[in-house]
Structure 1
């Protein structure tokens, strides 16, 4: 076997065995990290933010993605635009990362000035023959799907984003996320590779031992189990649960709320999964007692018994409930550091302290994200150890990880690695 520190990335891809975790170098090597940025964060669609974060003309959010930087803004015609954060003069950054309120985009270096449409309107001392029309800010391909903004930095974005849009627009419509508001945001830096962050999120094998707050509203049977390990009574309970699940799903669907599982996780470019999950206990929301955190429900919702519409992507996970939503975005910072940005959304008119309690709204996922950060750090330390060998996934609880690893290998190969 070639030395994992010096072998081509292709040899690492060849080493991956079906049903097993990835070879160490795919988590730890700098050249792999750069390939990941190139393939998964530049040539694929990624989730980057929300329409409701820029509710008024002149509102802008700037996000750095590896060496690239983008500006999400609302223009004077109230339309969303996404542009490259690169002045067309000599390349200076126009805005710093984070939120801004602007009337125009003015480069702080030489004061080249752009309209909110991206059109260059002022370029001092460039002479009368200078043509401003070909110096607009570079646009970025984007889709707003139910109010979630996805971008692709490539000139040729994958067309199968259409399937995600087709599935999620009707599912998200009742929540009216485009007109929600962000009640809270937390950034956590996980000391591990971004793929370990995503793998950790795509299984709940670890949940009962590590997430006491989340397990109040999560039902562990929904995330896989070994039927041979259950007693006859427990197996009968599981069968009863899934019969109830099917009945509940059919009832939701009959009431006009799409709920069935939809997966596009292999043999595709745009990786996603969605399903409406039953919430345990009181059944209303992912809070410490599973009751709603906000008395003012999201969007057009009138019911608190519609479970949790979850949506995975290859750099995000989202949970949409009657009273609030939680979105999480993953951006790699280095081979061993990953940004996880979590946002809690409520109805645009909900008032903190009147309609919702901020602690109740955020507690479960603040705790869960911190717990996961510790697990990801442990995992990264382990895959960096010379003793690490790829492990076998549970066929019952970690099938989604095998799908993700397989998709990851296939997409790198599709882009020439």
Structure 2
């Protein structure tokens, strides 16, 4: 299949798109970007939604966002509204946010608190475990409430992170092993005793894969992210082929302090393309956290942390999240696709729950670096999308030294799509 064939394709049906997607991924060189339809075709996007976002585990939020009974958050996974709520016994549940009467969304706000879940359309009422409590006498004496509870989505949480899957059967593999590591590595942060300090939702006119590709390399950082590079060392880990000796020495000195404090830091990764990955990396010498000047972001350190120069523990979860855990605050990122050429990037900043805004932390100071970086990345992603839409685009080569993270991501994406299409 040559480039002219790809450029002239017009998919009449989703079946054609699924067949051609498999062929494209099977034929692609591992060190080249994807064919244009995989970044901009609506039918290909639908396959992504069906085979990735409606089947795989997705990061949706943090448990400390819903600390008490009846607290909830909602997310939109394509055309699938999802509700995540804390029930009376403290469990976190996920449901399809659609009433079993006539399908209306039940919770219409981004976050909130309820005693029970009441559909605003006809007041059908559910408890916090999704059981139908009230449907009115209008349904007749033969109506069976127990058969009309909310439809559940698979939900797991570890280390304060909440993941959902919309698949009929929960995805298997090494996800539980990753969750166990996440519990261990997040223990020092005591996430249940944190709170949301700030949040941004950024609309980006770019395919979700371009958002992830941009995140998975720092090749572009020197030319695009001056605020971020005030504090961040671009090396991906100690095995990064670009890492100089002075960085390795700095890492060793910091690792000794982490060991003394009992802070886990060994690199852990799971799945094809290092899909789930945790690594703690130092920031620049003398830097505490990723603020504009490297100084403290919050006067209260998190959990049982004592060392303000803890570096950043980077957590990756494909397909939709990367995160930075630091000594006095942490930052989580979530990507959700909107269309073939639109994405929503959500960023949230968390601090100790006892920290007082305006006294212990300033939300604008916390946000400054990543607000700038996110917007810079938005522009890069949107320009990337516009170039790919051109008839002059053809897949280009990745640097195996600087862009190995992008290659890892596309390895995972390709293998996951092909596996799911083969079922």
TM category (shorter chain) comes to over 0.9
TM superposition shift of 1:251:
4.5
**What is the Cα-based RMSD across aligned positions, in Å?**
1.8
Q: 1:326-405 to 2 correspondence within 5 Å?
A: 326-405=331-410
Show the counterpart of 1:208. 222
Correspondences of 1:220-235 after superposition (within 5 Å): 220-222=234-236
Say which SS state the counterpart of residue 72 (structure 2) adopts. strand
- Does the C-alpha gap of structure 1 residues 267 and 191 become closer, same or farther in structure 2, counting only changes over 3 Å? closer
Which one of the candidate residues 271, 282, 290 is aligned to 2:286?
282
Deviation track 1:160-204 (CA, whole Å, cap 9, x = no partner) reads 211211211111111112221111100001110000000101111
Distance 2:94 2:305 in 1: 30
Alignment of 1:7-26 (within 5 A): 8-26=20-38
Match of residue 231 from structure 1 = none
Residue range with higher mean Cα deviation, 379-388 or 336-345: 379-388
TM-score (norm 2): 0.92
Residue 414 of structure 2 is aligned with which of 403, 409, 414? 409
1:282-316 deviations in Å (ceiling 9; x for gaps): 22100111111101111222221221011011201
User: For residue 260 of structure 1, what is the aligned residue in structure 2?
Assistant: 266
Higher mean displacement: 203-212 or 58-67: 58-67
1:173 maps to which of 187, 210, 217: 187
**Structure 2 counterpart of 1:232:** none
CA distance in 1, matches of 2:303, 2:261: 17
Question: Which of these residues, 194, 198, 201, is aligned with residue 187 of structure 1?
Answer: 201
Partner in structure 2 of residue 87 of structure 1 = 99
Secondary structure (helix, strand or coil) at the match of 2:251 reads helix
Q: 1:316 aligns with which of 302, 313, 321?
A: 321
1:359-407 per-position Cα deviation (integer Å, ceiling 9, x unaligned) = 2211001100010000000111111111111111111111011111111
Q: Deviations over 1:327-347 (max 9, x none)?
A: 010000001010000000000
- Judged with a 3 Å threshold, the aligned counterparts in structure 2 of structure 1 residues 65 and 128 are, in CA distance, closer, same or farther, namely same
Give the counterpart of 1:240 among 238, 241, 246. Answer: 246
Q: Is the 8 A contact 1:182 1:345 kept in 2?
A: yes
Report the TM-score, using the length of structure 1 for normalisation: 0.93
The corresponding residue for 1:46 is 58
Q: SS in structure 1 opposite 2:213? A: helix
Deviation at 1:70, TM superposition (A): 0.9
Q: Deviations over 1:232-284 (max 9, x none)?
A: xxx9xx2232133245335524542111222225178xx21111010114221
CA distance in 1, matches of 2:261, 2:186: 15
Aligned residue runs from structure 1 range 53-202, under 5 A: 53-124=65-136, 125-159=138-172, 160-202=174-216
SS of aligned partner of 1:343? strand
Q: Is the 8 A contact 2:69 2:87 kept in 1?
A: yes
Aligned position for 1:307: 311
